[in-house]
Structure 1
Amino acid sequence: MRHLTPKDAWAFVQARPDALFVDVRMEIEYLYVGHPPGVVNIPWYEYPEFTPDAADFVAQVLRAAKGDKTRPVVLLCRSAKRTLEAGAALEEAGFTDVVNVLEGFEGELDENMHRGTTGGWRFHGLPWEQM
């Protein structure tokens, strides 16, 4: 798995229109916190269980990739933690080009327990939208 900064990941997605850009956060995070344009939401886990189903996740990504395990898959979550597990599941299933977006969409918590102040997709001024 490769690890790219948010800016490098955005440049990669722009340069590789064949890349499948996947937001692995829960649907409510994707919709209401915001997401990059063009990203596909395939949650690693969902409320209320908060338990990943790796086989289902891999199957959904494989469908979105149209069965091509060599297609680049770029993974984004809140703070680049869920993407590590999700990416490992994809690689274990045979995906050969998996990219983790460092810092995630919102970044790590700061000293005041706030996200988005020290890193993340939005912090770096990259394009995003929300419901």
Structure 2
Amino acid sequence: MEQKYAGDVSASEAWATLQENPKAALLDVRTIPEFQFVGVPDLSGIGKETHCLPWQVYPQMQINSDFVEAVKLSGMTQDQPILILCRSGVRSVSAAVALTVAGFTNCFNIEQGFEGPPDDKGHRGNLAGWKAAGIPWKQS
């Protein structure tokens, strides 16, 4: 089956792209409670900000019908690299596909997301993903 978005990258690859490419943007598609209670990537050290636009709306978790329009209004453009992040790399694939269908040409899924899979104790953020890679992040 043909891939419907630009591809998958690791958190470390995404971080390198954000540092090296002035046009690259980070789009976090988790829910508002996740932004507030789990934390968000901190791009302040490289002079950028994380675009936090939920793909699904908490608590019902329905698809955000305004998602594509919100991305357009955020200032991100259809041809710039957009690195898309969720908790574990699942919702971000759906968001990347939706944006690609809407005409965005460089949407990348960040594999393992912000927290990655749970460890043997059921805790996330230790095995893989943005947090486990030691990339800057902050909590509100």
Whether these two folds match at TM > 0.5 is yes
Q: TM-score w.r.t. structure 1 length?
A: 0.92
Equivalent residue letter for 1:15: E
Structural RMSD (CA) = 1.3
Equivalent residue for 1:107? 116
Following superposition, the deviation at residue 10 of structure 1 comes to 0.3
- Aligned pairs, how many? 129
SS of the residue 2:83 aligns to: strand
Equivalent residue for 2:79? 70
Q: TM-score w.r.t. structure 2 length?
A: 0.86
SS of the residue 1:118 aligns to: coil
Following superposition, the deviation at residue 50 of structure 1 comes to 0.3
What does the per-residue CA deviation read over 1:35-56, in whole Å, with 9 as the maximum and x for residues that have no partner? Answer: 1122110000121220113x51
What does the per-residue CA deviation read over 1:7-35, in whole Å, with 9 as the maximum and x for residues that have no partner? Answer: 11000011112222111001111122111
Following superposition, the deviation at residue 81 of structure 1 comes to 0.4
Equivalent residue for 2:36? 31
What does the per-residue CA deviation read over 1:92-112, in whole Å, with 9 as the maximum and x for residues that have no partner? Answer: 111000011111010012232
Following superposition, the deviation at residue 58 of structure 1 comes to 0.7
Spell out structure 1 runs of 4+ moving beyond 4 A. Answer: none
Listed as ranges, the gaps of 5+ residues in structure 2 are 1-5, 43-48
What does the per-residue CA deviation read over 1:41-99, in whole Å, with 9 as the maximum and x for residues that have no partner? Answer: 0000121220113x511111111135x21121110110000001010000011100001
Alignment pair present for 1:52 and 2:57: no
SS of the residue 2:63 aligns to: coil
Equivalent residue for 1:88? 97
SS of the residue 1:71 aligns to: coil
Q: 2:75 & 2:99 partners in 1: Cα distance?
A: 12
SS of the residue 1:100 aligns to: strand
Q: 2:79 & 2:73 partners in 1: Cα distance?
A: 13
Q: 1:108 & 1:95 partners in 2: Cα distance?
A: 28
Equivalent residue for 2:46? none
Residues 18 and 71 in structure 1, CA contact (< 8 A), matched pair in contact too:
yes
